[in-house]
Amino acid sequence: MSQPSRTPTLLADLGGTNVRFALADTDLTAPLLTDSIRRYRVKDFDTLAEAIRQYFADTGFSAKHAIIAAAGRIADGETVQITNNPWAVSAQLLRDKLDMNSVRLVNDFAAQSMAVTLLTPKDLVTVGAPPLPRLGSHASQTFVVMGPGTGLGVGGLLLRDGSCSVLESEGGHAGFAAHTAEDVEILHRLNQRFGRVSNERMICGNGLVNLYLALADIAGQPVEELTPENITARAVSGEDPLCVRTVETLAGIFGSVAGDLVLTMGGWDGVYLTGGVLPSLLPWLQHGGFRERFEAKGRFRDTMEQVPTVAITHSEPGLLGAAALAMQETGHALWASPGQN
C-alpha cells in the first residue's frame, strides 16, 4: 500500500483477545485504509506500545496521531485498564514512548457506535421485520449499539440536528434480569458460581459455556469440556440438542437485554448488533427467540415491534468507527460520507 496523501492517523481496536491496527486518511470519504489492517494477539506482547512498534515494523508505516478504541472504562480520557486482558494503557505514556503528537483513548463501543455513521446498506442485515433505520430521517435520533465478543459491549449513538455524539457505557456489566422460569433457574446456578451475575456472564463467547453448564445441570445431563466454538459447531450441525438449546437460550436472553437497553436509553430509532461472536449467532438471532423476547416488554410491546434491530456485517466496525472519530476530530462532516442517509 502506498503512503496516504497526508499524515495518517493510527487506529487501534483493542479487545480482550486481539488488537487490530489500521491507518485512516481523513481527506478521503472512505477514511479507513482497508489494506493497512493487521491483527495481533494480545498475549504475544507485554504492552500496547510493543504491539504498535511491531505494526509499524511490519508495514513500514508511521503516524504522529492515534485513536485507540479499548475495551474498558476510560478514566479522565487518559488511562484504561482493559477489562479482559492484562494491559493497562496510558495515553501520555504512549505519546512519549512512540514520539507521537496526540493519542486519544476511547471506549471500544464509542468507536463501534461511531461506525454506524460510515456503514452502507451492504454492511447491514436486518433482524426481524422492521426495515433498516435511516440516519438523519429525523432531527433527533437515538440508537443502541451492543454486541458480544470476549465480553459484552454497550454504547449509544446520538444524532441531534446534523451532529453526532456517542454515549460510552459499561452496560454489559449491568445485572442480569430474569424474565422466564428458566432464566430464574439459570440465574440461580450462575449466582452460585459467580456471586453477582451480569449480562456479560451469558452474552459473550464464554457466556455460551456458562449457559451450557447451567442448562445441563437443570436437565440433569452430563457435560463435556467444550469451547464456545465447539458449542456453536454442534448446534449448527444439530448433533447435540443441548448445544442447540444453549445457543437458542443465548439468542433469547440477548433479545431481552437489547430490548431493556432500548427502554433504558430511549433508543427508539434502532439497535445495531455487533461483536466478534455475532457472525456465529446471526442465524439463531434471525430465526430464534431474539425478536420475541426483544418485543416482550409488556405495555411497550406495540412500540418495541416498530424498533429495528440490525446486524453489522462489516468485518472491522471498531476500526471503521475509530476512522469516523478521526474524521470528526479533523472537522470533516460525517454526513458527507457514504451511508444510509
DSSP per-residue string spanning 15-34: -SSEEEEEEE-TTSSS-EEE
In the chain, the percentage of residues whose pLDDT exceeds 70 is: 94
The whole-angstrom separation of Cα 152 and Cα 170 is 9
CA-based nearest residue to 158, from 140, 173, 171, 172 = 140
pLDDT of 87 strictly over 90: no
Name the pLDDT band for 339 (thresholds 50, 70, 90): very low
Which residues have CB under 8 Å from 112's CB, separation 6+?
69, 145, 147, 153, 155, 272, 274, 317, 318, 321
pTM beyond cutoff 0.85:
yes
Looking at residue 332, its pLDDT comes to 75
Looking at residue 170, its pLDDT comes to 86
On average, the pLDDT of the chain sits at 91
Mean pLDDT (whole number) for 168-176: 91
* Under 8 Å between Cβ of 37 and 319: yes
Q: In this structure, how many other beta carbons lie within 10 angstroms of the beta carbon of residue 202?
A: 25
Give the start-end residues of each E strand in the chain.
9-14, 18-24, 32-41, 65-70, 74-75, 79-81, 88-90, 102-107, 124-126, 140-148, 152-160, 163-168, 271-273, 309-312
All cell numbers assigned to 83: 477489562
The whole-angstrom separation of Cα 184 and Cα 200 is 16
All cell numbers assigned to 285: 438471532
The whole-angstrom separation of Cα 31 and Cα 34 is 9
* Sign for the pseudo-dihedral over CA of 217, 218, 219, 220: positive
Q: What is the pLDDT of residues 13-46, one digit of tens each?
A: 998 788 999 999 988 889 999 999 999 999 999 9
* Residue appearing with cell numbers 447491514: 124
Looking at residue 84, its pLDDT comes to 63
Higher pLDDT, 150 or 115: 115
Looking at residue 98, its pLDDT comes to 95
What backbone phi and psi angles, to 5 degrees, belong to 153? -95, 145
* Under 8 Å between Cβ of 168 and 145: no
Name the pLDDT band for 335 (thresholds 50, 70, 90): low
Q: What is the pLDDT of residues 257-294, one digit of tens each?
A: 999 999 999 999 999 999 989 999 999 999 889 999 99
CA distances from 337 to 8, 32, 293 (A): 18, 12, 35
C-alpha atoms less than 13 angstroms from C-alpha of 12 in its C-beta half-sphere: 31
∠ CA 228-169-137, rounded to 5°: 100
What backbone phi and psi angles, to 5 degrees, belong to 260? -60, -35
CA distances from 38 to 19, 50, 232 (A): 9, 14, 26
3-state helix vs strand vs coil in the chain, percent to 5: 45, 25, 35
All cell numbers assigned to 303: 412500540
pLDDT of 321 strictly over 60: yes
Q: What is the pLDDT of residues 58-80, one digit of tens each?
A: 999 999 999 999 888 887 777 77
**3-state secondary structure at position 223:** coil
